[in-house]
Amino acid sequence: MKDLTFSESVLSGDVVVPPSKSLAHRAIICASLADGKSVIEGVQFSQDVSATAGVMRAVGAEITACGDELCVQGSKGVDCAAEAFCNESGSTLRMCLPVCAALNKGVTHFTGRGKLGARPMTVFEELWQGAELYYRDDSAETGSLDITVKGALPAGVYEVRGDVSSQFISGLLFALPLADGDSEIRLTTRLYSKGYIDLTLQSLKESGIEVGFKGGVFSIKGNQKYLPVNGRVEGDWSQAAFYLVANATGSKVNVLGLNNDSAQGDRVITRYLEELKKDGELVFDGEDCPDIMPVFSVACALRKGVTRLTGLSRLKIKECDRLDAVYTQLSAIGAKVKREGDDLVFEGVDNFAGGVNVRTFNDHRIAMTLAIAATRCEKPIVADDFACIAKSYPDFLERYKELGGKVQ
């Protein structure tokens, strides 16, 4: 996709947000582990979701697509060399790796694209060190992904930090009910991104899997059986955040398809935007909702007064260093923002100046954030490499134009 020019505009009209990527990952994994056939409706085949479906096919699940519907015949396990291509999806890699260890008596070889191999995997490295289950080449140094899993994931006690990606914990929660014996996952720190763990526990419960949680310990019975589940994936609050921020900065979009009682942690965007209307200096914590922080920064930059965003360290280990990307690109278009360690401090401006070329860093959330920021730029901005939106929201540009967004 060539460079795109975005101009000032007011978005208006109805938009149905895409189904939750987080819930789609989880639904595909659970259905792939079930003894029988599941039908999952409302699936958008972004690159990330397609990667998870591909990995589960590699270890024996039969997955066929018809429109936005997936039919999944669960895997009974395999005993072969399996190739698992994760594309650039950290969710796919971290959640499916333990699952593949539970399903495949042979070897599963994980590969990927982009910077996936450089994203942290230390939790699994520490858990499986010396167990001859987990081998990694120089992925972290080269950026390429080359990981091999061999053998069955054993039942046992797993001590895991709660302040790293919740995807590690979710992966273990999916896999350990299949182990031959009871297990525990003991958190050694406070649990961050609790909303994503809630989504995992919700998906497990719907699939008939029992998991207890008390005092920082997940209790998981072994030899459980996943039940087939038929259902529809609810709307994605992290994608809705782009339109909700646009509304908070002058647009008039009617956002449809959301569950207001959702367990998705990114639903906090509605409360954050409401609190943004208060006077005085405000502070918001992004620790539990890192995915919405880039676009929420746009609203902060246009708010009168001083706004501080804290808890942004995890933005540095996404598809790009999102903390640096937000700071440099919003600064480039005219935001008054300072970086203080891992905090961003905004002093509000009336509008962005624009009139510059900006970079997406091949990161879907940075790209869509810049499109929303462009609606309040006095002069057009030119963004590179917008094809990266296919990772999570392939038809974002189409929806953006339908709502009146000006892009060439």
Closest by CA position to 329, among listed 362, 359, 350:
359
Are 267 and 237 within 8 A, CB to CB?
Answer: yes
Query: What DSSP string describes 127-185?
Result: HTTTTTSEEE-SHHHHS--EEEEESPPPPSEEEE-SSS-HHHHHHHHHHGGGSSS-EEE
Helices (H), 286-363: 293-301, 322-333
Q: Which of 266, 291, 363, 384 is catalytic?
A: 291
Query: Residue 263 and residue 50: Cα distance in Å, rounded?
Result: 23
Crossing angle of helices 21-33 and 166-175, in 10° steps, is 20
CA distances from 297 to 36, 336, 390 (A): 45, 11, 22
Query: Residue 289 and residue 267: Cα distance in Å, rounded?
Result: 9
Give φ, ψ of 96 to 5 degrees.
Answer: -85, -20
Query: What DSSP string describes 181-202?
Result: S-EEEEESSPPP-HHHHHHHHH
Query: Which are the contacts of 350, defined by CB distance < 8 A and separation ≥ 6?
Result: 302
Query: What DSSP string describes 285-302?
Result: E-TT-GGGHHHHHHHHHT
Query: Does residue 360 come out as left (phi exceeding 0), alpha (psi in the -120 to 50 range) or beta?
Result: alpha
Are 261 and 296 within 8 A, CB to CB?
Answer: no
> What tokens appear for 368 in the block?
């869509």
Reported residue count of the chain is 408
Crossing angle of helices 364-374 and 293-301, in 10° steps, is 20
Instruction: Confirm whether 261 is a catalytic residue.
Output: no
Query: Residue 242 and residue 373: Cα distance in Å, rounded?
Result: 10
Burial of 99-117, coded b for 16+ CB within 10 Å and e otherwise, reads bbbbbbebbbbbbbbbbbb
Catalytically active residues are 291
